[in-house]
Amino acid sequence: MTESSGSSGPPSVVLGVGAGIAAYKACELLRLFTESGHRVRVIPTEDALRFVGAPTWEALSGQPVATGVWTGVSEVPHVRIGKSADLVVVAPATADLLARAAHGLADDLLTNTLLTARCPVVFAPAMHTEMWLHPATQANVATLRERGAVVIEPASGRLTGADTGPGRLPDPDAIFFAAHRVLTRGAAGAEPDLTGRHVVVTSGGTREFLDPVRYLGNRSSGRQGHAFARTAVARGARVSLVTTAELPDPAGADVIRVASAREMREAVLRAAATADAVVMAAAVADFRPAAYQDRKIKKTGGAPESIDLELNPDILAELSADRPNPGQVVVGFAAETHDVAENAAAKLKKKGCDLLVVNQVGAGLGFETPDNAAVVLSPDAEPVEIPHGPKDDLADAVWDLVRARLSSA
């Protein structure tokens, strides 16, 4: 990684703003950067100032705002700003701006900065669905990713007017997380090493319904799986997240919502058909009720003597045994309450996965907490211990192991 700012001061971030209605959301993104100690220079396009004016950007950033290369020529801003940046974030990145960046055009200060930047670059696209799905835009996105830029997938939702669909700018806090993770890894010399890879992640605990009101479930919150999705996005991957969790969508992930183990199996197998890696972080129920009651079970006759259960499909074992892509890496999870080492070793052998992330769960451990610790087992290497810390750090440590296997495949 080429050094950018070379200074010992706060990280220097360039916030590029394209000419889209979502430009107002970039004000909140700017605030998140400045309040966390970053030095931010905002560079809007000329038309972006039709949505949010220069005085707003200058007041929020404390830095002057210019759109062309002729302001402050003596300081050579079209070269200096990009070379001195630690991170460039473009939000919103319009279809026009993505096209100009992909083709190396330099007709304003922002595109000049993109050409001279030698630091990580993150694009957060926002546009109408038809523009996002157009082959020209998709080709431009692919080109930028091939060059090492992180292009976050847009969210789906309400667009301008009554339109809905993919193309919505993700929430500013989600963009900030992805961008800050890229900045942190870039400062440590780490490239976006999952660029061009498609990964599937599962999260949450499945629900196996007894009747329209009740279900069998577990305590999994989905936080660890969401951490895998967030960190994979920050490393440049295209992420399919199959989840039961009621958590905010990670910016840049294609989120597929399911409820039961059978629904998760269908979604995972479909997404895994084009995936380089699958991380089964969800807590999938082993059993489901043998019969579903279409009306609420009443207690007028007393508690039922028993509830018959039947086995759910074993998604992890099925994936491991029948991989659609040569070299696909499959990661399983083992949440154990006792005899952790013995049970985990048996599960690794039974499931046939490449990596098994083992953690002890219980009161205050693993489930419903912001942090985690684990040991990663594999059939062909020594165990790797991941110390207690934030779940995002654990996810990054596992992605390092996945990346090594992808490289050697």
Between CA 407 and CA 409 the distance in angstroms is 6
Q: Is the pLDDT of residue 156 over 60?
A: yes
- When pLDDT is cut at 50, 70 and 90, the band that residue 248 belongs to is confident
Are 12-187 and 198-408 equal in CATH topology? yes
pLDDT, residue 31, reads: 96
Superfamily of domain 12-187: Flavin prenyltransferase-like (3.40.50.1950)
Q: Which of 272-281, 336-345, 379-388 has the lowest mean pLDDT?
A: 336-345
Query: Hey, what are 190's tokens?
Result: 């780490």
Buried residues in 335-354 as b, exposed as e (16+ CB within 10 A): bbeeebeeebeebbeebbbb
Mean pLDDT, rounded, for 168-178? 91
Domain definitions of the chain by residue range: 12-187, 198-408
Query: Hey, what are 151's tokens?
Result: 């292009």
Query: What's the mean pLDDT when you consider all of the chain?
Result: 89
pLDDT, residue 407, reads: 79
Q: Which residues make Cβ contacts (< 8 Å) with residue 364, sequence separation at least 6?
A: none
Q: Which of 34-48, 150-164, 319-333 has the lowest mean pLDDT?
A: 150-164
Q: What percent of the chain has pLDDT over 70?
A: 92
Residue 200 near residue 242, CB atoms below 8 Å: yes
Q: Which residues make Cβ contacts (< 8 Å) with residue 120, sequence separation at least 6?
A: 87, 88, 148, 150, 182, 183, 185, 186, 192
Q: What is the pLDDT of residues 201-247, one digit of tens each?
A: 999 999 999 989 999 888 789 999 999 999 999 998 999 999 999 99
Domain 198-408 has CATH 3.40.50.10300: yes
Q: Is the pLDDT of residue 5 over 60?
A: no
pLDDT, residue 340, reads: 76
Q: What is the pLDDT of residues 7-31, one digit of tens each?
A: 567 899 999 999 999 999 999 999 9
pLDDT, residue 268, reads: 97
Supply the pTM of this predicted model: 0.84
pLDDT, residue 7, reads: 52
Give the E-state strand segments of 316-409 in sequence order: 329-336, 355-360, 371-378, 381-390
The dihedral sign for the CA sequence 309, 315, 320, 321: positive
Q: Is the pLDDT of residue 1 over 50?
A: no
Provide Rg for the chain, Cα atoms. Answer: 23
**DSSP 8-state class, residue 22:** G
Q: Is the pLDDT of residue 273 over 50?
A: yes
pLDDT, residue 3, reads: 38
Between CA 379 and CA 321 the distance in angstroms is 15
pLDDT, residue 364, reads: 56
Between CA 254 and CA 14 the distance in angstroms is 27
- When pLDDT is cut at 50, 70 and 90, the band that residue 142 belongs to is very high
- Residues with active-site annotation: 218
Mean pLDDT, rounded, for 305-331? 92
